[in-house]
Structure 1
Amino acid sequence: MRRVVIGTAAVSMALSMAACGKAGDKSSDSSSSDNKTIGLLLPDSVTTRYEKFDHPLFDAKVKALCSDCKVEYANAAGDAAKQAQQVSSMITKGVKVLVISAQDSAAIKSSIQTAVDKGIKVVAYDRLAQGPVSAYVSFDNVKVGELQGQALLDSLGSKATTKSKVVMINGDDADPNAGQFKKGAHNVLDGKVDIAYEQSGLWKDTVAAQKMSAAITQLGAKKIAGVYSANDGMAGGIANTLKGAGIAGIPLTGQDAELAGIQRIVAGTQSSTVYKAFKPEADAAAQLAVNLLEGKSIKDLATQTLTSGSGTKVPSQLLTPVSVTKANIKDTVIADKLYTVADICTSEYAKACKAAGLQ
């Protein structure tokens, strides 16, 4: 009741002040700072990229494009129900555009529909959410999987035969990207090696470690030629399991170019990762969000069309991923200033760095 009284008084005051305001006066033109509020919802804090790179890079680009825009941020911490609540909170806060990397692309559909019904434009970020999404920005995810598969074959070399047993630990099926990575990897690996064990690691290092342990029990430590891991986080758990089982010198893929993944590549316990430059993706999402906020066209930005799991045809902007091995660390993540040599070459990795030509 107290809010109603205050609200009524505020409306009366606003009407009387509006009569005195000058045309073009910012204080009278903008009834609320929420008129230029953009929401950013990211899926988890386990994958280091979201908190360390995506959030601050997106925020900085929005501010550069629109000095009076405000970014509201929340992280779902791997909880789809929590992300749905965060969408509701963003609606209450009056965001005009919502950029969301869905924890569960199907589960978030009704929340996105509710936001759109309130007049909010939605941009799917990195993962193509279901529902009436206005735009999508990500990387060519099938290409990511193909790069991972090819890097595994390259590492196997002459050992890549139809009898070579490979373990595949895929991402979470609730993430549509996981299916695309898997598809790309199969495009390259099928018919070249024997995918003898394949499971989801749910994007969790602990789950991936458990699956790897089960694969070793099922196949035998000496029978495993290589491991496909869909990302670096899971590769960390897998690498620990391999070490514990006395398995060394076999290829292990990854994705996201996490610092720990790069360090494992230097040390030789991981063979490759896929670098999806965070800044171009965050910048692209910010540009799409600001354009939608300001009522500008996005046709020159989102030049491709993808169909989401709900059948929605979504204007999309897809960026190009890059495979990273020990041979091109300098030319990729270091050249782009994602990490410095000092970041990578801590005392634990100094000897390996020197051998790799990084120091």
Structure 2
Amino acid sequence: MRVRLTALAATGVAAVLLTSACGSEGGGSSPGETSGGSDGPQVGVILPDTESSVRWESFDRPLLQQAFDDAGVEVDIQNAQGDASRMQTIADQMITQGVAVLAIANLDSASGAAIQARADQAGVQTIDYDRLTLGGNAEYYISFDNTRVGELQGQGLQQCLGAGPKNIVYLNGSPDDNNATLFSQGAHSVLDAVSDYTVVAEQAVPDWDNQQAATIFEQILTQQGGAVDGVLAANDGLGNAAISILARNGRAGQVPVTGQDATTQGLQNILAGSQCMTVYKPVADEANALAEVAIALVNGEEPETTGTVRDDEGGRDVASILLEPQAIFRDSVKTVVDDGFVSAADLCTGEFAAACTELGIS
């Protein structure tokens, strides 16, 4: 199985999907019409929050909206704002509206599985977006290779730390996010093999909350008497929280810190030398892959996938599209700008302008 991702460039999803979005020429309802009629949304997408990452509203929402608009398919995109009850309410409303397909980036597997069970009862097909719902019943899962994300973080931290005895702290993502588990597993697979490295503390950050992350890391740094040489932070937000505490202690730039999501803040930290690296996940590819799968389902077609992912809790294999993440260091920040993921105008402000000039970012 494969997915035609080359046809899904950030501006190109319409070319792939336009034919299937046109519907049938005969009388009656076309496959793309829902029970609510042509006036209602055919696809519902629920994003998780605005706190765990800026990506959801800054990138996923506009990219998804554009993809469905280009294909002429009505979509309803909402954000649960970190509230599982709110996500359930939104899902119920979308199901009542008559969506044919519901895609969610769950807040936790238990609430996500409940939403998918409700959708299944109503005959609505479901897709897991970015996060696999353990014990759920989504027909498809679209994400990046999250174990690989963790491996890249581990390799990046090792590259920045170098050889010799090092004390490492892990700031993992939310304990109820399966992706966070995979990130940690991937990082451990790399760093645990380095005999000179010692994990002196490891803690998950509930709800990916950056303020909690700062408190947690400050406590760890105090408990260790400052003897921390590297921080495996699961994303840029958690990484920046650690950097803020290191800066308060006069050690920003002395302790390598990892990240993920290639946010403007994370990239600026890399330019400033206070963050070692980040992991770039081209969200345009992920959003367009979701659009292709959802629209295929709306039209009664079988989407193309790249393989399966095992859901041990549900005892099943989920047809999946897993995309490849990229490690970003100082000398490759330009890649993210060239892709249009972050603009030079936003990145190269004030104190970061000189670094951008040095790296040819404009």
Instruction: State whether residues 147 and 274 of structure 1, in contact with CA within 8 Å, keep that contact through their aligned partners in structure 2.
Output: yes
**Aligned-pair distance for 1:25?**
8.0
Q: C-alpha separation between the residues in 1 aligned to 2:118 and 2:344?
A: 47
What residue in structure 1 maps to residue 20 of structure 2? none
Residue pair 2:175, 2:205 contacting (<8 A) in 1 also: no
Corresponding residue for residue 296 of structure 1:
301
The partner residue of 1:164 within 148, 159, 166 is: 166
Structure 1: give runs of 5+ residues left out of the alignment. Answer: 1-21
How large is the RMSD of aligned CA atoms in angstroms?
2.0
Partner of 1:63: 69
Q: Secondary structure at the match of 1:99?
A: strand
1:122-160: CA deviation from partner (whole Å, max 9, x where unpaired): 0100001131111010010000000000000000123xx
Q: 1:108 to 1:23 in 2, by over 3 A?
A: closer
Q: 2:140 aligns with which of 121, 135, 143?
A: 135
The CA deviation at 1:106 is: 2.3
Greater alpha carbon shift after TM alignment, 228-237 vs 338-347: 338-347
Give, in whole Å, the separation in 2 of the partners of 1:266 and 1:357.
13
Q: Would you say 1:328 and 2:332 are equivalent positions?
A: yes
Identity in percent = 39
Task: Work out the CA distance in 1 between the residues paired with 2:40 and 2:46.
Answer: 18
1:216 counterpart residue number: 221
Q: State whether structure 2 residue 353 is matched by structure 1 residue 350.
A: yes
Asked if structure 2 preserves the Cα contact closer than 8 Å seen for 1:305 and 1:316, the reply is yes
Q: CA deviation at 1:351?
A: 3.2
Contact 2:308 2:320 in 1 (8 A): yes
Structure 1 position 348, deviation (Å): 3.0
Amino acid at match of 2:319: P
Q: Distance in 2 between matches of 1:25 and 1:112?
A: 29
Per the TM alignment, residue 26 of structure 1 is displaced from its structure 2 partner at its CA by 8.1
List per-residue Cα deviations over 1:28-80 (Å, max 9, x = no partner).
x9671257610010001121100011011111112222x1x211121111112
Alignment match, 1:276? 281
In structure 1, the residue matched to 2:175 is: 173
The 1:23–1:229 alpha-carbon spacing in structure 2 relative to 1, beyond 3 Å, is closer
Distance 1:306 1:338 in 2: 27
2:190 corresponds in structure 1 to 188
In the TM superposition, what are the counterparts of 1:1-359 in structure 2 within 5 Å?
Answer: 24=27, 32-33=37-38, 37-46=42-51, 47-65=53-71, 67=72, 69-130=73-134, 131-158=136-163, 161=164, 163-192=165-194, 193-202=197-206, 203-221=208-226, 223-248=227-252, 249-298=254-303, 301-308=304-311, 309-330=313-334, 332-358=335-361
SS class of match (2:107) = coil
Does the residue aligned with 1:72 lie in a helix, a strand or coil?
strand
Give 1:313 shift: 1.8
Equivalent position amino acid for 2:82 in 1: G
2:263–2:342 Cα contact (<8 Å) kept: no
TM-score (norm 1): 0.87
The amino acid that maps onto 1:270 is Q
1:5 match: none
Judge conservation of contact 2:337–2:361 (CA < 8 Å) in 1.
Answer: no
- Is residue 35–residue 96 contact of structure 1 (8 Å, CA) maintained in 2? no
- Secondary structure of 2:154's counterpart equals helix
SS at match of 1:252: coil
> What is the distance in 2 between the residues matched to 1:225 and 1:99?
41
CA contact (8 A) 1:170 1:200 kept: yes
Whether the 8 Å CA contact 2:43–2:99 is kept in 1: the answer is yes
In structure 2, the gaps of 5 or more residues are: 1-24
CA contact (8 A) 2:40 2:97 kept: no
CA distance in 1 between partners of 2:109 and 2:157 (Å): 29
User: Do the aligned partners of 1:303 and 1:316 also contact (CA within 8 Å) in 2?
Assistant: yes
Write the distance in 2 (CA, Å) between the matches of 1:74 and 1:342. 28
Deviation digits for residues 226-266 of structure 1 (CA, Å, limit 9, x no counterpart): 10100011112111111012213211000001111001100
Q: 1:70 to 1:143 in 2, by over 3 A?
A: same
Give the Cα–Cα distance (whole angstroms) in 1 for the partners of residues 83 and 318 of structure 2.
Answer: 25
Q: What is the aligned partner in structure 2 of residue 10 from structure 1?
A: none
The whole-number CA distance in structure 2 between the counterparts of 1:240 and 1:354 is: 26
Runs (4+) of structure 1 exceeding 4 A deviation are none
Q: Secondary structure at the match of 2:315?
A: coil
- Aligned pair in 2 of structure 1 residues 292, 241: CA closer, same or farther (>3 Å)? same
Distance 1:89 1:242, change over 3 A: same
> Greater helix share, 1 or 2?
1
C-alpha contact (below 8 Å) 1:34/1:95 kept by paired residues? no
Given that 1:101 and 1:124 are in contact with CA atoms closer than 8 Å, whether structure 2 keeps it comes out as yes
The secondary structure found in structure 1 opposite 2:174 is: coil
Which has the larger Rg? 1
